[in-house]
Structure 1
């Protein structure tokens, strides 16, 4: 054995992938903080500008419409330019539109800023999926996806009380100024610190080998990739993917209830004060964090015990979606403690489903179209985010209460579970012929 080979055998893998995951978690934290901050400000915005529930529903959903429409174009940009450049442009752009929300003065200007926010936030989760698939072996991928998915809820859980304090102390516009500045500053850290495995500083060959041998795609995903559009048909003809698309649609519809209407539900339906809402409203987000972390570790544990991809990746999602359906039980009590318990159970389940959905997708997506496949999945999933706030707003305006809205959210949990059980079938990597 040569001296070079002996050195390589003895070489310990570096841990650069965990620093990359830290960057992804921070950027995802900012992403969800900027898309959900309006939910805290909503009662004051509707009061100041005279918006009813139907108009607020349209404002909530505007971000999701542009976000959804940009998913597939952003997948193309990811394949061509790579996540470093695309994510840097996106983070700066959505942070600028977040700050611009403080300058809005009517319905049209607010809709315009939310549309701009959605356009620039669109690459986020396809980029996350591409980064984790490139940097992590399969046995660590559930934990990695759980970590950045949990970061979504950390922003909402920890910052809801802080944003509420800003709202009460300085007015609702201060929320958008503060959150916009955070993202603009972090853009520069991202561009300096991130690169793909083959070009990244601080990673050795032993770590790249560890990723590759564990099922990571560090050798397949290059910084730039030419898209063969004849291959794209596989993204729309696969039964596995359509099962995931439907499940993702339902899960995102549940998420967007919590990201948009939940604080207003506590204030308007359960008659909480704003400061009390800031405290109680953070609890379901904390439950979601627990759901994300629990599902990620449980799924990876099942992978390590060789239970198979089907059980290891599907079972946590199915259980999570069924738990989300518990939200409807809040219609049958006015005890705020019991209401919050039901909300915590529902959001715990939603968190479980969110993290492992992306882990399952990483196991079955075609190697040639990782970025684009993530974009298509996010496109269909976020149709749920686009429709859910508007549907909830319509139901509230039509009935005068949130009861029917909770029934709708509960039904999404049931439909999503059905899709994962009966449509996906046995998951396996989709192979596109050369």
Structure 2
């Protein structure tokens, strides 16, 4: 009897994660590409622009635990689809803030960026849940690296397009176009995304391959079938917050995201204001380091999974590319000592390549998240990591305002990479899945006491 060949539906799922993350990061970056033009149009200073850049982060961070709980409660498909639609709608609305007076426009822009951040909160915990459900352990590093590398691909693909839109039609149009793309994609998402057991295109051979090799294929099977959940499991959260490995991972992710948010917010402004490029040229130049970040991002996951398949420990296989890549990304500081344009871009590209190789935090989370609260655990991780989306734009805004240049801003970015390395070397220790302990509820405790009393009487 001929053995049935397994389907490869998980690769279609990974393509969807890659595309949605590309749109996700493109919508985050709209404000950066439009930033310099918007600054002139509305008369905004560097500190105010820094706060507007950070508005996304305030809500994104605040929404992580609720977003993770919603994913665990209602499943990845529905929650993520609603997330895509709503963040895209708020992106479209940003194109109309210029219709108001200066102070109203600034408040409206801040609030809409805030709402985009809130709506995007479930996105990366959702990615991590879907990868944990659809991919065996030995494929998760590559899968996580591929969806994570979409943040660089977003810049590669959309930075030149958005730069051209701003240059040709004005900053308002970039928000309308990018938001419209996301709204369409939310409908495609509902059609293609399902849990492994419920997907109409998967066969038994692929399902067995995933399930027998570490994939959590039943993660969403109880959603909507009477599963009771009163809210986030705070005792579980407390256990994660007292776990040394997890605290080290959280600190490192905060620092890695500090590098990311420099490139997402101030980098195009750096090219225009510090290096004297036009907005159109800056849009194209910004895509070059992003290409290197994309290559590095995929390569980091491939190297990690290759090391794992060669028989190395999970800890060694994840840490080698993380530490090596982040050390390489400290080269961004060298840009302070060169004046030739192509050399500056070259060092930025090298730094972004290194950051890409080292950005394996989501692969680590797929390996380490406790199975009871995969979404909530990812939300907590993303919450700590994205505090950098608040602090980085503001800190850099103040640095530029007080020094009049980007020199110390680049030192700040390089220092983030170094602290992330220190965290993985000295704090994280062995990488393994966290085993949570269930604490008895008050009812369980009373029942236990009654049982003990009954036994004592007898």
Question: In 2, distance between residues paired with 1:115 and 1:88?
Answer: 19
Look up the SS of the partner of 2:188 in the other structure. Answer: helix
Matching residue within 9, 24, 36 for 1:31:
24
Partner of 2:8: 15
Output one character per residue of 1:193-214: Cα deviation in whole Å (capped at 9) or x when no partner. Answer: 1111121111122211111221
Partner of 1:428: 432
Query: What are the ranges of 5 or more consecutive residues in structure 2 without an aligned counterpart?
Result: 99-104, 439-458
Shift of 1:96: 0.3
* TM-score, length of structure 1 as denominator length: 0.96
Question: In 1, distance between residues paired with 2:342 and 2:430?
Answer: 41
Look up the SS of the partner of 1:232 in the other structure. Answer: helix
Establish whether residue 323 from structure 1 lines up as the match of residue 316 from structure 2.
no
Shift of 1:77: 0.3
Establish whether residue 406 from structure 1 lines up as the match of residue 410 from structure 2.
yes
Output one character per residue of 1:320-366: Cα deviation in whole Å (capped at 9) or x when no partner. Answer: 22112111111111111111111011111111222x21111111111
- Structure 1 pair 223/284, CA: closer, same or farther in 2 (3 Å)? farther
Partner of 2:81: 88
Partner of 1:281: 286
Do the aligned residues in 2 keep the contact of 1:314 with 1:360 (CA within 8 Å)?
no
Matching residue within 14, 28, 40 for 1:47:
40
Establish whether residue 61 from structure 1 lines up as the match of residue 54 from structure 2.
yes
Partner of 2:381: 377
Output one character per residue of 1:210-239: Cα deviation in whole Å (capped at 9) or x when no partner. Answer: 112211111345352646443332221111
Establish whether residue 190 from structure 1 lines up as the match of residue 189 from structure 2.
yes
* TM-score, length of structure 2 as denominator length: 0.91
Partner of 2:216: 217
- Structure 1 pair 146/398, CA: closer, same or farther in 2 (3 Å)? same
Partner of 1:252: 257
Partner of 1:416: 420
Partner of 2:141: 142
How much is the aligned-residue C-alpha RMSD, in angstroms? 1.3
Question: In 2, distance between residues paired with 1:165 and 1:17?
Answer: 35
Do the aligned residues in 1 keep the contact of 2:91 with 2:116 (CA within 8 Å)?
yes
Question: In 2, distance between residues paired with 1:251 and 1:311?
Answer: 19
Shift of 1:73: 0.5
Shift of 1:23: 1.1
Establish whether residue 365 from structure 1 lines up as the match of residue 369 from structure 2.
yes
Question: In 2, distance between residues paired with 1:108 and 1:374?
Answer: 31
Establish whether residue 174 from structure 1 lines up as the match of residue 173 from structure 2.
yes
Partner of 1:112: 111
Establish whether residue 243 from structure 1 lines up as the match of residue 248 from structure 2.
yes
Matching residue within 336, 340, 343 for 1:335:
340
Count the aligned residue pairs.
426
Look up the SS of the partner of 1:230 in the other structure. Answer: helix
Look up the SS of the partner of 1:195 in the other structure. Answer: coil
Query: What are the ranges of 5 or more consecutive residues in structure 1 without an aligned counterpart?
Result: 1-5
Do the aligned residues in 2 keep the contact of 1:53 with 1:393 (CA within 8 Å)?
yes
Partner of 1:3: none
Look up the SS of the partner of 2:428 in the other structure. Answer: coil
Shift of 1:284: 0.5
Do the aligned residues in 1 keep the contact of 2:57 with 2:386 (CA within 8 Å)?
yes
Do the aligned residues in 1 keep the contact of 2:297 with 2:356 (CA within 8 Å)?
yes
Question: In 1, distance between residues paired with 2:387 and 2:255?
Answer: 9
Matching residue within 372, 384, 392 for 2:396:
392
Output one character per residue of 1:391-417: Cα deviation in whole Å (capped at 9) or x when no partner. Answer: 000100011000110111011010010
Question: In 2, distance between residues paired with 1:349 and 1:69?
Answer: 29
Partner of 1:300: 305
